[in-house]
Structure 1
Amino acid sequence: MMKFRKSALSLAVASVASVGAVAPVAAGEISASAGVATSYLWRGYDLGAGDPAVSASLDYSEGMFYAGAWVSSGDASAGTEYDLYMGLAGDAGGVSWDVGIVNYVYPTGDYQGTEGSIGDFMEVYIGLGMGPVSLMHYSNIETGEGYGPADSADYSYTTIGMEAGSFGVTYGMHDGGFDDYDHIDLSYSFNDSLSFTYSIPMEDSEASGGEEPVLVASYSFSL
């Protein structure tokens, strides 16, 4: 699942960060990016099973509104993944905010109760940020029989993070699904294109996947 807008609110660390060039189109803006990573890291889980992942994104924004699509080859179990999303983001009194909805699509079809169509697996999300500190919450609103840790109608995922220069730390908490899994991600951005993430599972988590620490290097570029 993608890392949404590249901002302090985007704390769910994905294997490839979206950093795109922006070009004015009518009253809005369009950005596009592509990237490669050593594996597909999603919320503390190595969905790529150690295999490299390739991804690309296309986004449109106008004022507070944004929408886009993201595609990845990296999920070892589900195959190719498409994410469709839209939301609103802005600032008020020094506090940044972001609310939206995302739909995860697996076109191979018939994956864990889904048919590979729009509406199979959806989440709503809300984020707040102030200075270097930010909070993000995702809540499942529609799913088939479930996808991995999201195998529950009441599944949710929350992150609390802090950034200091090129360094960042994120504490992620899964609630519901087939396990309650917490993890810590330590990240370093060498520049706007190259970044590294070291994801560490918490010892008291009852996870059925992602039990070992994972180091992921990712490189992204604008199109």
Structure 2
Amino acid sequence: MKNVKTLLAAGVAAASMTMVAAPASAELSASASVASMYLWRGFDLSDGSPAVSGDITYSAGGFYTGIWGSSGDDTYGQEVDYYAGFATEVGPVSVDISVWNYTYTGQGPGWDPDETGVTSDAGDTWGDLSEIIIGLGVGPVSLTIYDNVAGAPGYFYYTLGYDVGSFSFMLGGADSDDEDSNYAHFDVSYAYNDNLSFTFSQMIDEDNDDDLKFVVSYSLPIL
């Protein structure tokens, strides 16, 4: 998933999600990215394999809509996300509200709830998973809330971020109806330039003591 999923690109994603600036006029943008793994909310969905992704977004007057696609995770195949939202600023506060729908081409039985907290049916169908995402930012601090609204038993995912210079720090965590699926992780990212970035991600939950993950990602604007 894009980490609002490469971030999110996600990123953005992963990811993976970044607030979209509200332009004064209509604008079409696109980018392509490659990463050493598909890091999504603290999990390596590509099982250590590289992931390729791309997006195209149309925005006008603060409203935006677009498509994000990825080579996918190791189990459920290619992923295509559809999104639409509105971004603006109210005084010193930036606000971004969007709806995302995630679809997959794999035919597996669904995500493993012990790993992600989601048990959506796999397959290239609308509604595999949908979220409403609310992002708030004040200066270097940001808070993002992901609310599952379709395709899963119900969960929230939260991120709290802080940017300083070329570094960004993010604490993320899931609050699921299945308490055994709740977890938290901490990410540190460094942007070498506008294209190249490095991320370290570590689970801080006692039930998810995975090894430290290291991701190198490169993105290139097309439009």
Shorter-normalised TM range: 0.7 to 0.9
Deviation at 1:211, TM superposition (A): 1.7
Contact kept, 8 Å, 2:199 with 2:216, in 1: the verdict is yes
- 1:154-188: CA deviation from partner (whole Å, max 9, x where unpaired): 21100001000100100001111551110000000
Shift of 1:114: 3.7
Offset at 1:35? 1.0
- Displacement of 1:115 in angstroms is 3.7
Number of aligned residues: 204
SS of 1:108's partner is: coil
Q: Secondary structure at the match of 2:46?
A: coil
TM-score of the aligned structures, taking structure 2 as reference length: 0.84
Q: Residues 99-153 of structure 1: CA distance to partner in whole angstroms, max 9, x if unpaired? A: 111000002346422442112210111010000000000011111xx4xxxxxx2
What's the TM-score once normalised by structure 1's chain length? Answer: 0.84
Gaps spanning 5+ residues in structure 1: where?
19-23, 147-152
Alignment CA distance shift 1:83-1:211 (3 Å): same
What's the counterpart of residue 171 of structure 1? 171
Decide whether aligned partners of structure 1 residues 17 and 175 sit closer, same or farther in structure 2, where only a CA change above 3 A counts.
Answer: closer
CA contact (8 A) 1:199 1:214 kept: yes
**1:180 counterpart letter in structure 2:** N
Does residue 70 of structure 2 align to residue 68 of structure 1?
no
Q: CA deviation at 1:73?
A: 0.6
Point out where structure 2 has 5 or more consecutive residues left out of the alignment: 19-23, 111-120
Distance in 1 between residues matched to 2:57 and 2:98, nearest whole Å: 14
RMSD (CA atoms):
2.5
For the residue of structure 2 that corresponds to 1:212, the secondary structure is coil
Q: Which amino acid aligns with 1:122?
A: S
Give the structure 2 partner of residue 98 of structure 1. 96
Q: Which residue of 2 aligns with 1:89?
A: 87
Partner of 1:77 in structure 2? 75
Distance 2:51 2:12 in 1: 17
Give the structure 1 partner of residue 45 of structure 2. Answer: 47
2:190 corresponds in structure 1 to 188
Change (3 A) 1:173 1:203: closer
What is the CA distance between 1:16 and its match in structure 2? 7.4
Contact 1:54 1:72 in 2 (8 A): yes
SS of residue matched to 1:103: strand
Preserved contact between residue 12 and residue 159 of structure 1 (Cα < 8 Å)? no
Deviation at residue 203 of structure 1 after TM alignment: 4.2
Instruction: Name 2:134's counterpart in structure 1.
Output: 126
Greater length-normalized contact order (CA 8 Å, ≥ 6 residues apart): 1
1:155 correspondence with 2:155:
yes
